[in-house]
Structure formats: structure tokens, C-alpha cells
A and B are shown apart, each in its own frame.
Chain A
């Protein structure tokens, strides 16, 4: 699948155009959780915070999963929806292929570890995405290639600290601040996670090196999907831009399934087209 390559200025997150508005949002995002939080549960150690994150990731990825998702890219003047089927195993391997629209059908992305390849059926070529392109957007969405390729980064490269608790639909929510280890090859200067006590990730905020909010992932419509409670709708939103976001709508998901050996290989990337 395609990294959407826009202009060079977009290689890095841009500060919002309406600065005061952006400041306000950033300020709310930073201070609200802190103020509304009940006195923090000091009994939790950093190890516990890391465990909460680990369990949450295990919960939503499972040992292996397969899913069908509608991805809608929303922009002020237009909107585009595509249907994607994905397979994942653990945090390292994943494979995505486009089912619809017909024009894009068969375009596929393979991720193994932190490397990514993309396949296009029209020219029948597989291309490895070069490191310089990893910060580009994936399929023109608000997700970057790095968001996919470094999905395990939150566990390996960050240390976690519980900064408070909140509540959501009567359940306890842990607010965790994740900061990168020194010298870790990370994209974000800080992440803030909102994880419910039943392991459901409610929100993830991404901050740059200057600790300014860049974008936020939020989930909603939590319901039974694939035999477990799972948010049906995920939204990735650029900070300060209310009309630019990407929605993921899970139509189907199945966990802990048996995936054929060799599914996460370059040859299967080519042969997904059926």
C-alpha cells in the first residue's frame, strides 16, 4: 500500500496554523487529565504501568488476529473510504490488503519487525519502503508508515508512569505517560495512554520532542467483537484540525486464530489477490 507523498514540508508534523486555538487544545489535553484525576494511586509502581500497557496491547492484538476495516480519510473538501483486510501475529508481523474500491484492490502492505514492503498489482512489483519515507502518511491517511512499523515501539522504547486514574462507563481508567528511553530510535517525544481496567485502549495522544500534541487516537462504540469487548470505531485526529481525521470502522475481527505458516512473507504479499 501506498505512502502518500506530499510536499517536503509535510515530512515533519507542522505546528497548527491557528496557534492560539492549538495552544488551547494542547493545554486542555495536558491539564484536563491532571486536574480531573482523583489523587493518583501511588501504590502502582512503574513496573505495574508497563504491565498495564503490555496487557492492553496483548488484548487488542491477541496472539494472532484477522480483521476487516473500513478506513475513511476525511478532509475539509473531500472524503474517501476504503475497505482493508488485515492479519496480525504478535506485535512484529502484519499484512494488509485493500478489498475496495476496485481500483485499489490488491494493493498490499507487509510489515515484519520494523521493515515494510508494499505491493502494487497493476505493475506487479514489490517495493521496500525506504527509511526516509517512514514518516510519510500511510495510504494518504493520518496514520504514518511509522505508526504501523513501530507499533511495538511503545513497549520496547518507552518507560511508563502512571499519572492518574479516571473513570469511563463505571470502569476505572489508567492514565499513563510514556516517555522514550534515552537514545531510543523513536518518533514521539511523549505518548499518553488512557487504558481502561479491562485493557481497552480509550485514547492515545502523540506529542513531539517539544511535548506539543501532534495527533490523537481515540476509540469509541465499545461492543462485543470477535468474542471480546472491542472498540468498533477508532479515530486518528490531527491536533488543532477538527476537519482532518481518519476513521477506522471495524466490521469484523477474530482473535487467536490459526494463521497459515508463511503468510507474513513477500511471496504471500504478491499472492493475496484473489
Chain B
């Protein structure tokens, strides 16, 4: 009996091919758009997180408790070796490095500015952050010449220094004593992020530790995970370790979203505004479906009257309508998902450049070419919502058909 219903429904759909195709096309278009847009959004978030994380913060950091807020020199990871030897045995960790940071007066022969000195391990740093790629003039740091520095392009301009010039750094050591050193400018970097370029100098970690009386302590251990999804796991390993061993001091493990809450907030905002757009789209589609089925109902009132008079139950009539609408919706969604996946896969391989946004994206350290990222999630969310909404919409005419009186219905549309 069901197969008969399906057969009837299928024939009914193609009784007015133009209207049905238009409806299916609307549903397909909505699904296609949702699949592509969601893949695009997720893809750009992944790119954004990856780019931002590789400027400085990494996916995870181990710090002394309170260091992220107070940035006091004495809030150190006193024994980084204990943590880093553990990191080498966590397969989800793709790279790590350690850093020291101090606020100093940086003075050239002519000018003095406040600056942030970051001590980095040149060999490890290049695996974690893009500092090395940012070097525009001169060379990257080398442990063989510890007392040389990479200077931000804006800071170098402010200090009026170029390659080979001397910069005096004056600050406070970990023990509160005066820390001072002279470094040579080995390279000038430009990250595109003005704040970083305006106030940061990189020197090698051994020189930093020596100058600022750090011993073997560091301020941050920066970790890059092999996948965003592994971050919570790595964090848990480290937290268990820290909780178990007393020798670490009071340490915390922070993720990129805690270190840069702004990035996660802007992602959330983008998601919300995206969903508002999708909601409007889906509501329009829903009305078009509703319109189609109400038209069907008016057009076929006489037919339904005859069917009722012949003994068809109202329940079966409404089931017939539901099968019709479900078939159309499914057709539309399947076509949409297939086309959407094809389009997305194409751009996943080739990338998209939105003309004129290159400068803005560079400001945030993002590449010009963005790639959508097709995932089960981006396919399921959009098509699922379209499916549910259209099926709900189809319930109304299906319910209405039950209330038809055979005699009245047969007299309609004369």
C-alpha cells in the first residue's frame, strides 16, 4: 500500500514539473549555499586560528600561575626541563619551544623607547612560530651569536637603527637587580601586526637568561599541537603531570583561547551573524515550500473530494501529501549537498581570494588566499536544518487536507 502511495506521489510531483522543479531547486540551492558557507566559515576559522597561533602564542602554554595577568619577572617556570622532557613523549605535540620575556628600556645612540624583549630558542622557535618568516632584512637569530637581536620594523624606525647597529637594553632581572646588556641588530622583522612590530625585540634565550638573572628558568613553554582537536588532551596530560609532581612549582596550562580571548570572541560573533543569515534564508525557503503545497491543495480540492467520496481515508490523503513533500525535500537536499560538496571541494583545492581584502587580512597575520574546509559537520548542519524546517512546513497542508468534506470539495473550483 505504501508503494502505491509512493507511486502516486511521484506521479503527482511530475504532474506540474515546472513548479516541482522550482521548489526542488530552491531547496537544493539553500542546501548548497549552507554546505558551502559553513565549510567556508569553518575553514577560515581554522586558517585564522592557525595563523594567529603561529605569530606568537602557540596552541598551549605552560606558565607560572598568574604570569598571564601580572607579567612579573619573577613568575617563572623554574624547571622547564621537567616539562619539556615530558612533551617529547606526547605524540600529539608537534613542536614546542620556551621563551623569556621582559619589559625594558631600549636605547639606540639617538632614541629611547620602552620595549618587550623576548628570549627565544632560535632552533625550536622556527618550528613553533613564524618569526623566522617575518624577517625582512638581515638574518634570523643564531645561537652562535647570542648577543644579537631581531628588532620589529616599527621599533627599528623609532629607534632609528639599522642592521649592525647597537641597542642598549635596560630592565630588571628576575631577582630585582638591574639588568643591562648591549645587543647588535642582526635582523629586522615585520609581522604585519603593528603592536608586535612596534614594541618587540627577540634575542636568544641563553643571552636572555644570562642578562636577566634567570638561571635556567623561562616564562613560557609554548606548544604546538598536531591538530586543534588534540589540544584538550595535551592539556590534560600536562595538568595531570603538574598535579602529580611537586617539583614544577605553581604552574598552569593555558590554551590559545585563554591566551587570546579576542580571537575566539570574533569567531563566535562571525558564527552568530552567519546563523542569522542562514535563518533568513531558511525561512524564505520554508515559505516557498508552504506556498507550493497550499497551491497543490487548492488546485486539487476536487480531486481530493472524489478520492474521499470513493472511500479514501483522510489519513491516507494526508500521508500522500507528506510523501510528496518528503520526496521533493529529499531530492532537493541530496542535489544541494552533492553540488555543494563538489563546489566546496573545488575551492578547497584552489582557494579563494576576495579582491581588496589582502591588506586587511595581513593586518591580522592571515594569508590572502582562504580555503573552505568540507567536513561531516558542515554538511550535516545545513542540510539537516533545511530538511527539518521543510518537513515541518509540509505538515500544515497535510493536516488541512484531513478537514475536507467530500461533497463541498467536489463542488470547489467550478
Contact = CB atoms under 8 A, between A and B. Distances in A.
Interface stretch (B49-57, B100-108, B261-269): B100-108
Contacts of B105: 2-3, 5, 118, 127, 129-130, 133
Contacts of B175: 80
Given A78-B74, A118-B170, A125-B168, A6 B103 contact: yes
Contact of B114 (A2, A103, A128, A130): A130
A2 B70 contact: no
A123 B182 contact: yes
A140 interface: yes
Interface string B169-208: 0111001111111100000000000000000000000000
Contact of B176 (A129, A133, A140): A140
B107 A5 contact: no
Contacts of B178: 1-2, 98, 103-104, 107, 120, 122
Contacts of B70: 6-7
Interface in A84-119: 98, 101, 103-104, 107, 118
A127 B112 contact: yes
A6 B67 CA distance: 11
Interface in A124-181: 125, 127-130, 132-133, 136, 140
A140 B113 contact: no
Looking at chain A, what size class is its interface with the partner chain? 20 to 34
Contacts of B71: 6-7
Contact of A123 (B102, B172, B181): B181
Looking at chain B, what size class is its interface with the partner chain? 20 to 34
Interface string A1-18: 111111100000000000
Given A7-B71, A103-B177, A122-B180, A127 B172 contact: no
B171 A125 contact: no
Q: A-side binding surface: helix, strand, loop or mixed?
A: mixed
Given A127-B112, A130-B113, A132-B113, A5 B177 contact: no
Nearest to B195: A8
A5 B114 contact: yes
Nearest to B117: A5
Nearest to B211: A122
B103 A129 contact: no
B114 A133 contact: yes
A223 B178 CA distance: 33
A73 interface: yes
Contact of A125 (B74, B172, B177, B182): B182
A3 B102 CA distance: 12
B72 interface: yes
A2 B112 contact: no
Interface string B69-83: 011101000000000
Nearest to B173: A103
Nearest to A102: B177
A242 B181 CA distance: 35
Contacts of A104: 177-178
B168 A140 contact: no
Contact of B170 (A2, A73, A103, A132): A2
Contacts of B170: 2, 118, 120, 123, 125, 127
Nearest to A118: B170
B180 A4 contact: no
Contact of A120 (B102, B113, B114, B180): B180
B261 to A, nearest CB: 15
Nearest to B71: A7
B36 to A, nearest CB: 42
Nearest to A80: B176
A1 B181 CA distance: 14
Contacts of A127: 105, 107, 112, 168, 170
Nearest to A105: B178
Contacts of A123: 168, 170, 180-182
Nearest to B180: A120
B180 A125 contact: yes
Interface string B148-174: 000000000000000000001011100
Contacts of B182: 123, 125
Interface in B119-140: none
B204 to A, nearest CB: 17
Given A4-B172, A98-B178, A140-B172, 10 more contacts: A2-B171, A2-B172, A5-B104, A7-B70, A78-B74, A103-B178, A118-B170, A123-B181, A125-B182, A130-B114
5 contacts: A78-B74, A101-B177, A123-B181, A125-B180, A136-B114
Interface of B: 70-72, 74, 102-105, 107, 111-114, 168, 170-172, 175-182
3 tightest Cβ-Cβ pairs between the two chains A and B: A5-B103, A7-B71, A120-B180
